[in-house]
Amino acid sequence: MANAAGASSIQQVDVAVVGAGFAGLYLLYRLRRAGFSAVALEAADDVGGTWYWNRYPGARCDIATTDYSYSFDPELEAAWEWSEKYATQPEILAYLGFVAERYDLRRDIRFSTPVTAARWDEGEERWHLSTGNGDPVSCRFYVMATGCLSAPKPPEIAGSEVFRGDVYVTGRWPREGAALQGRRVAVIGTGSSAIQAIPLIAEQAAHLTVFQRTPNFALPAHNGPPLPERAARLAADRAGFREEARWSMGGVPLPPATEFSWQLTDGERRERFEKAWAAGDLIVALTQLWADAGVDADGNALVAELIREKIRTVVKDPATAEALCPYDHPFGAKRPCLDTGYYATYNRPNVDLVDLRRDPIKAITASGVETANGSYDVDVIVFATGFDAMTGAVLALHPIAGRGGIALSDAWAGGPQTYLGLTVAGFPNLFLVTGPGSPSVLSNMAVSIEQHVDWIVDRLVALREAGFATIEATQTAQAGWMRHLQDCSAMTLHRLANTWYTGANVPGKPRGVMPYTGGVGPYRSICNEVAGRDMLGFRLS
Ligand code: FAD
């Protein structure tokens, strides 16, 4: 967009959005319909976000596709049919491409355009964005649809750069795939992505060595066609099903169990557990067993031991089975994973597990991985080391300067501070989609994204109608929200796990439970109440 003299011009819009994943696409759709001029700036060269970047073998959703879909347009829902209960990455990417096509969204997206800095201009009351490609942007409102799990965490292992073989990162898997066939492969990490990828890598590799720091709880996915009973409920009353999801605890319409573990006999608990195990559904396992599973250590320990029992049944070598059993965190305090042949993969003759708690990695060498007790020569290293979650993409490579030039990284030096997970005091006209302090990663994110986008766009419309140019959370409201966040998280077991929910997976990152643990439905009603009470906690001008 250079002008005739070759100098760049400034793109002027009402709203600039960063990101073109689930959130960015729906934002563009709503903003356009509400009559705002908008642009989305996306680092990738196409839409999809998470589902663009995560092309590793076995990448799938772990919330059933009946639930993990947009619900804003019944005609869109009728026009798309999922082939599986848990769709693969290519199918979800195709879905998001279909959505972009259907509503002609790509024309407002600037691809291959990372936002490199953002600055609030107090005189103009506008945000100024620098980009790594093309014209800078000036906008009245700035919306971060940058994703909670979009900034892969660099491996903190010495020597990664000296390795002579091929290196892959699950969250940045190459479009053309990876050469794994018949090769010696190391996978470092055993989180959700690794648990999905390991069975498929093991099928291709001559030998696979898995390096595990922390075992995770994984439940069988029992993938197959879309869940018949949920599909039937959807078909019978689509609007009712979606509305129930919006007011549920996790964004999936399943009323939580009300009996406590101590009100059930051993037999009754086992029966419930076996039913949940057979369901192959994380939300069922997290909400349908007994009411104290997520909030009381004793109630939780019962679930954890039943899962460990299952691991020991599947994995034949007792030492490997024991190494795969999680003891260091309560079930659900870390996002549990879905298993499609994961535990059984350790019965293959070409797969070994290295337990890094007993035998830590010393360094990556030119030929492989060196641990305290041995060395492993490999041709390929796959880093499945996770993400700098929730705050990573907002802060990474992206200095954001608010009122008085204050940097967001300074405002958040002690951990992310937000009002409702949507806004930050001192940063007028800035919105975060599924930001820290909202249910986000503790929910079906399709539901949480739609709720945030609707709330943001509805507020922008209301501001325009009332003649206001700026909106900013007050420090008092933000402090109150942070207090409420802490009170809610103190009632859960999340604080007892070193996880990406709490920032513990990134060295030096401040610790705290980042998502709102009070539930999707209660959170929605708070957001609605704030709006209904004349934007309680916001300063408008
Ligand atoms: P993203 O999809 O992460 O998109 C953010 C986009 O912003 C990216 O494309 C990125 O390139 C872009 N971006 C970031 N910073 C910049 C910048 N500075 N400049 C320009 N562009 C930028 N959630 C569920 O609810 N259910 C699931 O089953 C599920 N499965 C998942 C599986 C995997 C492997 C992963 C990683 C996540 C999964 N999630 C799941 C969470 C998932 O991230 C969300 O469901 C959803 O896709 C997030 O959409 P989003 O648009 O908010 O962010």
Ligand 1 lined by 251 (C-beta under 6 Å): no
In sequence order, the 6+-apart residues with CB closer than 8 A to the CB of 99 are 25, 70, 76, 105
Helix axes 297-314 and 266-279, enclosed angle (nearest 10): 60
From CA 345, how far away is CA 351, in angstroms rounded?
7
C-alpha 506/C-alpha 10 separation (Å) is 36
Structure tokens that stand for 124 in this block? 């103009």
Residue 150 Cβ < 6 Å to ligand 1: yes
Secondary structure (H, E, C), 433-458: CCCECECHHHCCHHHHHHHHHHHHHH
Which mutation among 28, 146, 438, 452 tests ligand 1's pocket best, with the greatest number of atoms within 8 A of CB?
Answer: 146
Interatomic CA distance for residues 495 and 211, integer angstroms: 25
């996915």: which residue's tokens?
221
CA 62 to CA 16: how far, in whole Å? 30
Q: How far is the CA of 397 from the centre of ligand 1 (A)?
A: 17
- Name the percent of the chain in helix, strand, coil, to the closest 5: 35, 20, 45
List the residue whose alpha carbon is closest to atom 27 of ligand 1: 61
Alpha-carbon distance values, 455 to 26, 99, 173, 452, 482 (Å): 12, 21, 34, 5, 20
Query: pLDDT (tens digit, 0 to 9) for every residue of the chain, 541 residues total?
Result: 444 444 569 999 999 999 999 999 999 999 999 999 999 999 999 999 999 999 999 999 999 999 999 999 999 999 999 999 999 999 999 999 999 999 999 999 999 999 999 999 999 999 999 999 999 999 999 999 999 988 888 777 878 889 999 999 999 999 999 999 999 999 999 999 999 999 999 999 999 999 999 999 999 999 999 988 888 998 899 999 999 999 999 999 988 899 999 999 999 999 999 999 999 999 888 899 999 999 999 999 999 999 999 999 999 999 999 999 999 999 999 889 999 999 999 999 999 999 999 999 999 999 999 999 999 999 999 999 988 888 888 888 668 999 999 999 999 999 999 999 999 999 999 999 999 999 999 999 999 999 999 999 999 999 999 999 999 999 999 999 999 999 998 889 888 888 878 877 878 888 887 899 999 999 999 999 999 999 999 999 9
Hey, CA dihedral for 363, 368, 369, 375, is it positive or negative?
negative
Are the beta carbons of 421 and 539 closer than 8 angstroms? Answer: no
Spatial contact of 350 and 207, defined as CB atoms under 8 Å apart: yes
Predicted local confidence at residue 7, as pLDDT: 54
Taking alpha carbons only, the member of 492, 477, 475 closest to residue 537 is 477
Ligand 1 atom, smallest distance to 443 CA: 25
- Of ligand 1's listed atoms, the one at least distance from the Cα of 434 is 52
Looking at the whole model, is its pTM more than 0.80? yes
Which atom of ligand 1 has the smallest separation from the CA of 150?
3
Ligand 1 atom 9 nearest Cα: 49
Report the separation in Å between the CA atom of 9 and the middle of ligand 1, taken as the mean of its atom positions. Answer: 30
> From the CA of 192, how far away is ligand 1's center (Å)?
14
- DSSP SS3 for 509: coil
Q: Are strands 207-212 and 184-188 parallel, antiparallel or unpaired?
A: parallel
Q: Ligand 1, atom 32: nearest CA belongs to which residue?
A: 61
Beta carbons of 488 and 439 less than 8 angstroms apart = no
Q: Which tokens hold the place of 330?
A: 């309560």
- How far is 136 from 16, CA to CA, in rounded Å? 11
Look-up of token digits 């965190």:
329
Contact 364, 157 (CB under 8 A): yes
SS (H, E, C) 144-210: ECCCCCCCECCCCCCCHHHCCCEEEEHHHCCCCCCCCCCCEEEEECCCHHHHHHHHHHHHHCCEEEE
Give the Å distance between the CA of 383 and the centre of ligand 1. Answer: 18
Please, what is the end-to-end C-alpha distance for the chain in angstroms? 33
Cβ–ligand 1 distance for 59 under 6 Å, the answer yes
Residue 473: which H helix or E strand, with range?
strand 471-473
Rounded distance from Cα 323 to ligand 1 centre (Å): 31
Tokens representing 491 are 């009632």
CB of 28 sitting under 6 A from ligand 1: no
What pLDDT, on a 0 to 100 scale, did the predictor assign at position 496? 86
Is the beta carbon of 30 within 6 A of some atom in ligand 1? no
Report ipTM (2 d.p.).
0.99
Q: If you take atom 40 of ligand 1, which residue's CA is the nearest one? A: 61
**Smallest Cα–Cα separation from 256: which of 228, 284, 221?**
284
Q: Is the C-beta atom of 455 inside 6 A of ligand 1?
A: no
Residue 67 to residue 1: CA distance in whole angstroms = 40
> Rounded to whole angstroms, how far apart are CA atoms 500 and 145?
19
Name residue 93's amino acid: L
- Angular region, 6: left φ>0, alpha ψ -120 to 50, beta rest: left
What is the Å distance from ligand 1's center to 49 Cα?
5
Q: One-letter amino acid identity for 110?
A: R
What size, in residues, is the chain? 541
Q: Is the beta carbon of 115 within 6 A of some atom in ligand 1? A: yes
User: Looking at ligand 1, which atom is closest to the CA of residue 433?
Assistant: 52
Phi, psi of 507 (to 5 degrees): -55, 130
- Residue type at 274 in one-letter notation: E
- For the Cβ of 169 lying below 6 angstroms from any atom of ligand 1, the answer is no
Residue 285 · residue 300 · CB < 8 Å: no
Residue found by looking up tokens 């509503």 in the block: 103
CA-to-CA distance for 384 and 170, rounded, in angstroms? Answer: 5
Instruction: Please give the number of the atom of ligand 1 that sits closest to the Cα of 53.
Output: 9
Ligand 1 in reach of 445 Cβ (< 6 A): yes
* Atom 3, ligand 1: residue with shortest CA distance: 147
- What's the DSSP call for residue 372? S
Identify the pLDDT of residue 397. 62
Amino acid at 427: F
Comparing CA positions, the residue from 469, 393, 399 lying closest to residue 434 is: 393
CA dihedral (177, 214, 388, 478) positive or negative: positive
- Which of the listed residues 150, 198, 442 should we mutate to test ligand 1's pocket, taking the one with most ligand atoms within 8 A of CB? 150
Q: Ligand 1 in contact with 149 (CB < 6 A)? A: yes
Bridge partners (DSSP) of residue 381 are 167, 186
* Pocket of ligand 1 contains residue 393 by CB under 6 Å: yes
Which among 247, 260, 290 has a CA at the least distance from the CA of 443? 247
Instruction: Report the pLDDT value the prediction gives residue 2, as an integer from 0 to 100.
Output: 45
Decide whether any atom of ligand 1 lies within 6 Å of the 320 Cβ: no
Closest residue CA from atom 23 of ligand 1: 445
Distance from chain centroid for Cα 276: 23
